[in-house]
Amino acid sequence: MNLKVKKFFKPLIFIVTISLFVFLITTLTSAEKNPASAQRNLIPAVNDSLEEESLYDSMRLDTTGLSREAFENAIQGYDHLEEKGRIKNPDILSIIDFSLPSSKKRLFVIDLKNKLLLFNTLVSHGRNSGTLVANTFSNKSNSYKSSLGFYVTGDTYSGEHGYSLRLIGEEAGINDNALSRGIVMHSAAYVNEALIKSQGYIGRSLGCPAIPENVHRKVIERIRNGTVLFFYSPDKYYSMHTQMLAKDSINS
């Protein structure tokens, strides 16, 4: 290579080397400042159902008796109501799992924000919904049956059963007669462990979710005014008629 060619390539090689060095330094610095973006393509997206399962698992809700299906359905309906702007207090989700007998603690009050199970207690079903297990449901007045589905909690009042909580049924034809039927959460002396020991099940209501006297005020205070309450059962009629849940997510 002659002298003229060497003089031409020397500065060119120097410029290319410097440019490459600057590029590498800039790239490494950017990655250090924002490691998440550098790895974005390496981390698979986590879908909603996996997040729900993770919450169920991380809280070890299976150990409490709450079924995974009840929880996942509750989350799905909760999301639907939140999209509609129906929830005033999104931190709390309550589930009554009617797949469990009344001798089990089947009311679960969950703090979604802090991932805590706040209450797990006994709760009644309607006298005509069954004896030990609730297996038939109705939205009709004077049926004395429980109504399944999603509710938003209303205000409190002092009535026949003392401190009580109004429940607003969110599903047309399934539980939207709750207010006119007087379906509320209240305390009842017949919801106690002693009755379970003596007869194998707690007392039954006229359709209201009655809870023990020693916790009712604390529970009602925590869930009142705009939280979601879900009455769950693997009931075929409900599965076929609810608009709150995707049909492919319901086990018929």
pLDDT of 25-54, one tens digit each? 555 554 444 444 333 333 344 444 445 558
Can you give the pLDDT at residue 44?
40
Exposure string for 44-53, b = 16+ CB within 10 A, e = fewer: eeeeeeeebe
* 72 φ/ψ angles, rounded to the nearest 5 degrees: -65, -40
pLDDT, mean of residues 100-121: 98
pLDDT, mean of residues 199-217: 98
Cα atoms found within 13 Å of the Cα of residue 232, Cβ hemisphere only: 29
User: Among 220, 194, 221, 196, which Cα is nearest to 209's?
Assistant: 220
Is the pLDDT assigned to residue 5 strictly greater than 90? Answer: no
Q: Where are the beta strands (DSSP E) in the chain?
A: 92-97, 107-111, 116-121, 149-159, 162-169, 184-187, 210-211, 228-232
Would you call 43 exposed, middle or buried from its count of C-beta atoms within 10 A (0-12, 13-18, 19+)?
A: exposed
Is the pLDDT assigned to residue 203 strictly greater than 60? Answer: yes
Instruction: For residue 172, give both structure tokens.
Output: 């047309």
Can you give the pLDDT at residue 177?
98
Vertex 145, ends 140 and 150: CA angle to 5°? 80
Lowest mean pLDDT among 15-19, 125-129, 174-178, 236-240: 15-19
10 vs 69, higher pLDDT: 69
pTM of the full structure: 0.79
Rounded CA gap, 59 and 225, in Å? 25
Q: What percent of the chain has pLDDT over 70?
A: 77
Can you give the pLDDT at residue 58?
95
The chain-wide mean pLDDT, for the chain, equals: 86
211 vs 25, higher pLDDT: 211
In terms of DSSP H, where are the helices of 39-190? 48-58, 68-83, 178-181
43 vs 181, higher pLDDT: 181
pLDDT of 126-169, one tens digit each? 999 999 999 999 999 999 999 999 999 999 999 999 999 999 99
Can you give the pLDDT at residue 246?
87
Helix (H) or strand (E) holding 236: helix 236-241
40 vs 189, higher pLDDT: 189
pLDDT band with cut points at 50, 70 and 90 for residue 245: very high
Is the pLDDT assigned to residue 117 strictly greater than 50? Answer: yes
Q: Residue 107: CB partners within 8 Å, gap ≥ 6? A: 94, 95, 96, 119, 120, 121, 122, 123, 209, 211, 219
229 vs 39, higher pLDDT: 229
